[in-house]
Amino acid sequence: MNTGNTKKNKFYITTAIAYVNAPPHMGHAFQFTRADAIARHRRLAGNDVFFLTGTDEYGSKMFKTAKEKNIEPQALADENAKKFRELNELLNISFDDFIRTSDEKRHWPGAQLIWKKINEKEDLYKKKYSGYYCSGCEAYVLENELTDGKCVYHNQKPEFVEEENYFFKLSKYADKLMELIEKNEIEIIPESRKKEILNFAKQGLKDVSFSRPKNVLPWGISVPNDEKHVMYVWCDALANYISALGYGSDDLEKFNKYWPADVHIIGKDNLRFHALYWPAMLLSASLPLPKQIYVHGFIISEGKKMSKTIGNIVDPKEITEKYGADALRYYLLKEIPATEDGDFTVKHFEEVYNADLANGLGNTVARVISMAEKYFKNEIAVAVIDKKWKEIINVSRECVDYAMKDYNTPQALVGIWHILRKIDEEIDRTKPWEMTKTDINSVGAHLFDWLNALRDIGYLLRPFLPEIAEKIIEQLGFDEKKGFGAKKGKILFPRI
């Protein structure tokens, strides 16, 4: 495969930048990990990957939270942005860049330039507006979008506001947006989310507020040529995908190389912004459109949204520090569905940890290496791989690649665990501890096949459990001429 830095070979992947009015939660850890597995898989496939994440730092929620804490909004942004970056690093997230929207040098020029481009198209106008504003969504909402008068995502009553804002002519692009989505020129994964956004668009798209008065919300990016207004938070936040590449600066090398995005990874509450508002902004600014939008669900706990009130919040930092990054990565990548809501409780996490990792992967690796050590003093010479094992491994590789085309990490891990299950079945069937008494050579051949299969598991696991994958490969000690010099290392996953 071509690994040159060509436009054709590039793969630009982004997470939704995290809002920093509060520290990171399990939903953030999930999105970071899912995006990271995709980015790592693409790198191993030979793509020139650029993986962007970062933090969204403006808006009324930030301003309000900072006021409640009696600190400056920038201080709150700095404090929580640091926590998000630390969580990314703790989880071994292989991001190439971390953009912050309060960065006046890196982000502001791109955000203000796209505003100017949209304004040049005469797609912005001022008008007085009154309506319901949800600070959780940082957006105006219609009464028919509320349940019992509350936002369906944030379970809070929106505030009624009256103010003069700039508005963006979203309605002008309604037909074009629906055509692009229907024809998969902007591909929305899964199909159910595509239908959802098309149904919403078919009801009629209204122009959307694009700014807030600075006397109401002073915390934001100034509107070009109008110091009385700041850019609406989602308007400036969406621009991070291009500002991080240098759009708005003198250095457009990365922008020309990587834009448009190959995939935006977002939660279902961000669909409208990414599938309608963002493409419309890009159309207005005459910029290329993202190719795919991959939409995942929420992390819930025992069927309920995680909240301080219920007391069911699980801190990803605590879980990672206690059980290891790859233990949490495995649960998030395997147990949380590819596109629907997924449940997380410490009890279920520990059950999966013991079953799949401690008694599964870790035990099988230790079991096979122990036999190599006991019967062959760690040295297993190169042998011809049994045809059956070639087929098992090839099927699993194909399963992983096929699943990852749709970003389906749970199915990819099922494919890898298929090899693991086959190793366990073969050990139980052949009973090498008995075979050593009569046919030590056959035991050596079996061990070579099993060690080789574990090596493939190690390679296949690199996008998903990068730290453990390298430990497995290291413990196997493979040399193309000599074979395996397998040596037991530290227990990969100590039982709980």
Per-domain residue ranges for the chain? 345-485
Q: What is the pLDDT of residues 328-380, one digit of tens each?
A: 999 999 999 999 999 999 999 999 999 999 999 999 999 999 999 999 999 99
Residue 349 DSSP class:
H
Residue-wise pLDDT tens digits, 470-484? 999 999 999 988 999
Q: Which pLDDT score, from 0 to 100, does residue 150 have?
A: 78
Residues 6+ apart with CB under 8 A from 246: 110, 252, 253, 254, 255
Q: What is the pTM of this model?
A: 0.93
- The confidence score (pLDDT) of residue 3 equals 39
Q: CA 407: distance to chain centroid? A: 10
The pLDDT value recorded for residue 418 is 98
* pLDDT of 215 higher than 60: yes
**Can you give the pLDDT at residue 307?**
64
H helix runs in 310-439, sequence order? 316-323, 325-334, 346-352, 363-376, 387-405, 409-430, 432-435
Nearest C-alpha neighbor of 338 from the set 281, 406, 289, 254: 406
Backbone angles phi, psi at 314, to 5 degrees: -115, 125
Could you confirm whether 69 is annotated as catalytic?
Answer: no
pLDDT given at position 159: 76
Instruction: Compute the distance between CA of residue 70 and CA of residue 221 in angstroms, rounded to an integer.
Output: 22
Tell me the per-residue pLDDT of 184-195, one tens digit each, with 9 for 90 and over: 999 999 999 999
Count of CB atoms within 10 A of residue 164's CB? 13
CATH class as words, domain 345-485: mainly alpha
3-class DSSP state for residue 483?
Answer: strand
Q: What is the pLDDT of residue 161?
A: 74
Please report which confidence band the pLDDT of residue 2 belongs to, taking 50, 70 and 90 as the band edges.
Answer: very low
Catalytic residue among 83, 116, 154, 418: 154
Q: What pLDDT, in 10s, does the model give residues 51-92?
A: 999 999 999 899 999 999 999 999 999 999 999 999 999 999
> In 10 A of CB 443, how many CB atoms?
23
Please say if 151 is a catalytic residue. Answer: yes
Report how far residue 91's alpha carbon sits from residue 82's, in angstroms, rounded to the nearest whole number.
14
264 is catalytic: no
How does pLDDT run across 264-279, given as a tens digit for each residue?
Answer: 999 999 999 999 999 9
Position 6 confidence tier, pLDDT thresholds 50, 70, 90: low
Instruction: Please state, rounded to an integer, the average pLDDT across all residues of the chain.
Output: 94
Which residue in 237, 242, 271, 235 sits closest to 259, CA to CA?
242
399 is catalytic: no
Q: Are 469 and 390 a contacting pair, CB within 8 Å?
A: no
Catalytic residue among 116, 305, 317, 418: 305
Query: In which band, very low, low, confident or very high, does the pLDDT at 311 lie, cut at 50, 70 and 90?
Result: low
State the average pLDDT over residues 221-239.
95
Confidence of residue 132 (pLDDT cuts 50, 70, 90): confident
Q: Report the range of poorest mean pLDDT among 162-166, 228-232, 295-299, 454-458.
A: 162-166
Residue whose structure tokens are 């995290």: 18
Is the separation of the CB atoms in 334 and 356 below 8 Å? yes
C-alpha distances out from residue 2 to 9, 50, 81, 494, Å: 7, 16, 37, 41
Residue 254 bears catalytic tag: no
140 pLDDT band, cuts 50/70/90, is: low
Copy the structure tokens of residue 49. 């990957």
Cα separation, 159 vs 141, in Å, equals: 10
Q: How far is CA 163 from CA 114, 141, 146, 237, 477, in A?
A: 24, 15, 21, 22, 68
Quote the tokens at residue 378. 């760690």
Of the listed 308, 347, 405, 490, which one is catalytic? 308
pLDDT band at 136 (very low <50, low <70, confident <90, very high): low
pLDDT of 47: 98
Q: What sign results for the dihedral spanned by CA atoms 22, 27, 30, 34?
A: negative
Are 162 and 191 within 8 A, CB to CB? no
Q: Which of 41, 61, 107, 137 is catalytic?
A: 137
Please, are residues 316 and 301 in contact by the beta-carbon 8 Å criterion? no
From the candidates 41, 61, 107, 151, give the one annotated as an active-site residue.
Answer: 151
pLDDT tens-digit profile of 415-435?
A: 999 999 999 999 999 999 999
What CA–CA distance (Å, rounded) separates 200 from 174? 11
CB 218 within 8 A of CB 231: no
How much is the pLDDT for 243? Answer: 99
**How confident is the model at residue 310, as a pLDDT?**
64
d(CA 103, CA 109): 10
Based on the number of CB atoms within 10 Å of its own CB, is 413 exposed (0-12), middle (13-18) or buried (19 or more)?
buried
Distance CA 232, CA 236 (A): 6
> Does the annotation mark 308 as catalytic?
yes
Provide the pLDDT confidence category of residue 153 given band limits of 50, 70 and 90.
low
| pLDDT reading at 451 higher than 70 | yes
pLDDT of residue 4: 42
CB-CB neighbours of 218 under 10 Å: 12
pLDDT band at 1 (very low <50, low <70, confident <90, very high): very low
Specify whether 154 is catalytic.
yes
* Spatial distance between the Cα atoms of 281 and 278, rounded to a whole number of angstroms: 5
